[in-house]
């Protein structure tokens, strides 16, 4: 690193001192905290993004958002060249960078890491970082801090994409690194054209008149704004948007949004007795999560949640059906059998896992966190993953897509009513509709709607695929969460010795019982999950297992 680069880094970093007494950690969702203490972190994340661009010789993304957090929070996520999340190998460097106590320490850290990664600061490579932000009022100033960080690396430029959803920015990074057009308009055009293609291939089924309209809770965030733009380009989809964020009293994520709906299981603001029986959906604050719900009765504010597990099941059922159509007995298509797999965490409702296995699908569990789910899904020709919170997507291997393209060419002259031809075209359309970079509420919503139309299903038909087992989640405060060591996708405890046997003994007392504990990734708590045949039983099992944390760690949860 030459003196010019050192001087530039020292001068720029001195303008963004780290707040005292705060420790930052780059988790699955990047850095996230009160917006008032984030300027130095976002500045340093800009440096990291520029270095990552130089290392990979690719475009990198930076998104300023705190997703489903309260409006006073903000954060930053880094998108790797694939459009996916920042590689885990760089997360320790991200932590160290954010917590370096002063400019000199920061410079030493950058110098040492750049030597290790063979990053040369000579300005010969033009590092490009796509920048986006959500609708939070703190976004503009933090975006400026990100730009300052990027520009402190010689030859680096930040390209401001304006107010976008997190999945849009990830999609743009992926598209541009694949040599494709990657603007917001390109995103809308790809989603809308793919949706129309699937709809045109429908066998004529349609949802009933009561369920004809989809009512969307926009979380008073960026997703509401974007879904309005997208629906203008669509035919055959009747969407009524609520909680768009346009009103002066509309507060991002407050009493609204996918995270609130999925956790609290109550109607969000703007919904009520007039919506009984209708098909409703909620986006989260940056539109990377999606859940559906039903208001079952005018006499209660409780809802029937149709969560990420049900979305995964719907997608898996549809994809499996298309593969079955293509593999008619005696067909030439039997020469290649694509591997379809679904990936869940232990938090997936046991009824969903049972349903998927009954379909004959391979089901794999991973540790909690989208990065684990995404990576495992890449092992399949078609990998589908979702968390119950509504974050998930479908991944298609290049081998499978190439095979599909070959089949499309072979079937070009087949009759228009050829079912095999339609199945090929549907799967190709799905691969373009779904956001393969990251979970995307907008693309996921369009695919759900297209499949419901294809099946001729109402939301009630969909929700009846299986009935969730009652469950309960608790957290127990501890002094040191690292005392709990887990294995087998976090479903079994290795340490302390004996605790797993105690969990097994408690679980055996309850019909359809299942329970596990795992340490939080961000705070000193142990999270407990339990399922059973009734809600009372699930609550009792969760409480019993929570008490085991006290017993084996000797720490009060008060």
Which tokens go with 47? 């440096």
Q: Residue 343, exposed/middle/buried by CB under 10 A (0-12, 13-18, 19+)?
A: buried
332 is an annotated ligand-binding site residue: no
300 is an annotated ligand-binding site residue: no
Q: How far is CA 34 from CA 14, 16, 40, 459, in A?
A: 21, 16, 12, 38
284 is an annotated ligand-binding site residue: yes
406 is an annotated ligand-binding site residue: no
Q: Which residues pair with 376 in a beta bridge?
A: none
14 is an annotated ligand-binding site residue: no
520 is an annotated ligand-binding site residue: yes
206 is catalytic: no
Which tokens go with 327? 């593999």
Tokens 């504010």, located at residue: 301
Q: Tell me phi and psi for residue 336, to 5 degrees.
A: -135, 125
Buried b (16+ CB within 10 A) or exposed e, 81-98: bbbbbbeeebbebbbbbb
Omega before residue 353 within 30° of 0, cis: no
- Alpha carbon 166 to chain centroid, angstroms: 10
387 is an annotated ligand-binding site residue: yes
Q: Distance between terminal CA atoms of the chain?
A: 52
Parallel, antiparallel or unpaired: strands 60-64 and 31-34: unpaired
19 is an annotated ligand-binding site residue: no
Asked whether 363 and 356 are in contact (CB, 8 A), the reply is yes
In three-state secondary structure terms, 64 is strand
Tokens 């693309």, located at residue: 443
Radius of gyration of the chain (CA): 24
Q: Where are the beta strands (DSSP E) in 381-499?
A: 382-386, 392-396, 471-477, 485-487, 492-495
Distance CA 434, CA 445 (A): 9
Q: Which residues pair with 486 in a beta bridge?
A: 493
Q: Is the dihedral of CA 459, 460, 464, 467 positive or negative?
A: positive
SS (H, E, C) 2-36: CHHHHHHHHHHHCCCCCCCCCCCCCECCEEEEEHH
Distance CA 304, CA 463 (A): 9
Q: Where are the beta strands (DSSP E) in 492-541?
A: 492-495, 514-519, 525-531
Which tokens go with 339? 């591997």
217 is an annotated ligand-binding site residue: no
Tokens 């045109």, located at residue: 200
388 is an annotated ligand-binding site residue: yes
Active-site position among 13, 67, 471, 540: 67
Determine the Cα angle at 447 with ends 224 and 418, to 5°.
150
379 is an annotated ligand-binding site residue: no
Q: Which residues pair with 543 in a beta bridge?
A: none
User: Which residues are CB-neighbours of 522 under 8 A, at least 6 positions away?
Assistant: 25, 27
Task: Extract the annotated binding site for Mg(2+).
Answer: 67, 284, 286, 288
Q: Which residues are part of the catalytic machinery?
A: 67
Q: Which residues are annotated as a binding site for substrate?
A: 387-389, 518-522, 527
Please state the residue numbers annotated as binding site. Answer: 67, 284, 286, 288, 387-389, 518-522, 527
């Amino acid at each position: 690193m030459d003196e010019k680069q050192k001087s530039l880094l020292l001068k720029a970093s001195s303008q963004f001192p780290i707040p005292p007494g705060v420790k930052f950690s780059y988790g699955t969702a990047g850095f996230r905290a009160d917006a008032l203490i984030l300027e130095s972190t976002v500045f340093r994340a800009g440096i990291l993004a520029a270095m990552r661009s130089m290392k990979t010789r690719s475009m990198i993304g930076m998104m300023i958002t705190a997703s489903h957090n309260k409006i006073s929070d903000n954060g930053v996520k880094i998108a790797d060249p694939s459009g996916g999340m920042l590689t885990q190998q760089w997360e320790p460097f991200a932590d160290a960078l954010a917590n370096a106590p002063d400019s000199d320490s920061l410079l030493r850290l950058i110098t040492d890491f750049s030597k290790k990664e063979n990053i040369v600061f000579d300005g010969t490579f033009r590092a490009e970082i796509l920048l986006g932000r959500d609708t939070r009022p703190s976004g503009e100033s933090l975006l400026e801090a990100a730009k300052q960080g990027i520009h402190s690396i010689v030859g680096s430029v930040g390209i401001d994409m304006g107010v976008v959803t997190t999945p849009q920015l990830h999609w743009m990074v992926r598209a541009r690194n694949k040599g494709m057009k990657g603007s917001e308009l390109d995103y809308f055009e790809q989603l809308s054209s793919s949706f129309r293609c699937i709809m045109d291939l429908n066998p004529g089924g349609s949802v009933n008149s009561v369920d004809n309209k989809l009512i969307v809770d926009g979380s008073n965030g960026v997703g509401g704004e974007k879904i309005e733009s997208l629906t203008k380009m669509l035919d055959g989809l009747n969407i009524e948007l609520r909680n768009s964020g346009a009103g002066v009293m509309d507060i991002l994520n407050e009493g609204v949004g996918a995270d609130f709906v999925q956790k609290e299981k109550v109607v969000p603001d703007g919904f009520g007795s007039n919506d009984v029986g209708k098909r409703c959906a909620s986006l989260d604050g940056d539109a990377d999560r999606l859940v559906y719900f039903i208001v079952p009765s005018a006499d209660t504010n409780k809802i029937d949640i149709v969560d990420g597990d049900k979305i995964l099941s719907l997608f898996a059922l549809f994809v499996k059906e298309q593969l079955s159509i293509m593999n008619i007995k005696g067909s030439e298509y039997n020469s290649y059998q694509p591997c379809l797999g679904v990936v869940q965490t232990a938090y997936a409702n046991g009824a969903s896992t049972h349903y998927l296995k009954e379909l004959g699908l391979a089901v794999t569990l991973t540790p909690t966190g989208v990065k684990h789910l995404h990576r495992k899904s890449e092992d399949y020709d078609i990998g589908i993953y979702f968390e119950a919170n509504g974050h998930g997507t479908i991944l298609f291997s290049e081998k499978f897509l190439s095979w599909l393209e070959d089949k499309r060419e072979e079937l070009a002259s087949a009759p228009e009513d050829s079912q095999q031809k339609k199945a090929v075209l549907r799967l190709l359309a799905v691969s373009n509709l779904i956001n393969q970079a990251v979970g995307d509420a907008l693309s996921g919503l369009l695919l759900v709607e297209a499949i419901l139309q294809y099946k001729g299903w109402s939301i009630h038909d969909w929700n009846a695929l299986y009935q969730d087992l009652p469950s309960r989640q608790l957290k127990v405060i501890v002094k040191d969460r690292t005392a709990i060591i887990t294995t087998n996708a976090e479903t079994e405890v290795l340490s302390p010795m004996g605790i797993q046997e105690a969990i097994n003994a408690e679980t055996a007392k309850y019909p359809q019982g299942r329970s596990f504990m795992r340490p939080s990734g961000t705070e000193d708590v142990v999270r407990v999950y339990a399922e059973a045949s009734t809600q009372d039983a699930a609550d009792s099992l969760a409480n019993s297992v929570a008490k085991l944390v006290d017993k084996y760690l000797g720490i009060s949860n008060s």
